[in-house]
Structure 1
Amino acid sequence: MKKTTLLVFAVTASFAAAPSHAEVDAAMCAGFDEAAKLPKEQDAVSAAPENHRVLLENEDMRVLEVIVRPGEHETLHHHRWPSVMIVDELPKFVNYDKDGNEIKSSAQTQERPEMPVVMRIPPQVILHSIHNTGSKPFHAIRIEYKRACPGQ
């Protein structure tokens, strides 16, 4: 899928599907209170700007393009809001926590998942970083919902 098509799809879907407090299930907001206390300097855009580019941001959402190049290891960071991530390039990668322990991703459980992979992700309270061990870039669009959980 062309990147432009993916971007148009993601941005359109984010506006059409922007969840309200009533529509978000409890699992998508698990850890929100803890995530809200995380240092802003460890937010993905602040801590790893070379891998997270803001495509759109307003009071309700932030849309990021996420790229991790072959051989690259991101800086540790977090994602404080629930999100939907659309992955259209998925090389081999390892996701690590702050102590260097591997975190298994649902995108890694299938041998060759059909692209794009779409994941619903609650706030990530664990600092993490991706190490791209493949030969092509990891590429995704991440739609973060700033006001989806009660208390946001």
Structure 2
Amino acid sequence: MLDDLDAVAAAPEHHTVLFEDDRVRVLETIIRPGEQTAVHTHVWSGVLYVIGWSPCVRYDEHGAVMMDSVRDGVSPAPGTAGAAAPLPPHSLRNVGTQDIHVILTEFKTA
């Protein structure tokens, strides 16, 4: 059972379930320029497919910077995919001028 910090429960304006069964959940995430998600988690590992990207900053639940895409050299090209680890409580702010648009396929595990 997922808690109140699950991405879909805590930040529904940015996370939409496209498909879900007992093994996987597919989320679409769209964060427009200047927007910041509510604090949420991703408890399962998975695969992230990038449709659109923009510079962003990830904060922990206390507001400390966990990742700054410009500082850390994170700039995945649209059309690329990569492994996605579970994430503890965090929020993400789009500090660029384009939408962040990704599809996350999460693999449900015990």
Q: TM-score, normalised by structure 1?
A: 0.65
Following TM superposition, the consecutive aligned residue runs of length 4 or more in structure 1 with deviations greater than 4 angstroms are: none
Higher helix proportion: 1
RMSD (Å) for aligned C-alpha atoms: 2.0
Structure number with greater Rg is: 1
Unpaired segments of 5 or more residues in structure 1? Answer: 1-35
Instruction: Identify the residue that residue 130 of structure 1 maps to in structure 2.
Output: 92
Aligned residues of 2:6 and 2:41 also touching (Cα < 8 A): yes
Number of residue pairs aligned between Structure 1 and Structure 2: 109
SS in 1 for 2:9: helix
Higher strand proportion: 2
Deviations 1:18-73 (A, max 9, x none): xxxxxxxxxxxxxxxxxx8xx61100000000000000000000000000111101
Q: TM-score, normalised by structure 2?
A: 0.87
Report whether the alignment pairs 1:77 with 2:40.
yes
Displacement of 1:116 in angstroms is: 2.5
SS in 1 for 2:4: helix
Instruction: Identify the residue that residue 3 of structure 1 maps to in structure 2.
Output: none
Alignment equivalent of 2:63, drawn from 90, 96, 100: 100
Report whether the alignment pairs 1:63 with 2:26.
yes
Aligned residues of 2:55 and 2:75 also touching (Cα < 8 A): no
Correspondences of 1:3-152 after superposition (within 5 Å): 40-104=3-67, 109-110=72-73, 113-124=76-87, 126-147=88-109, 152=110
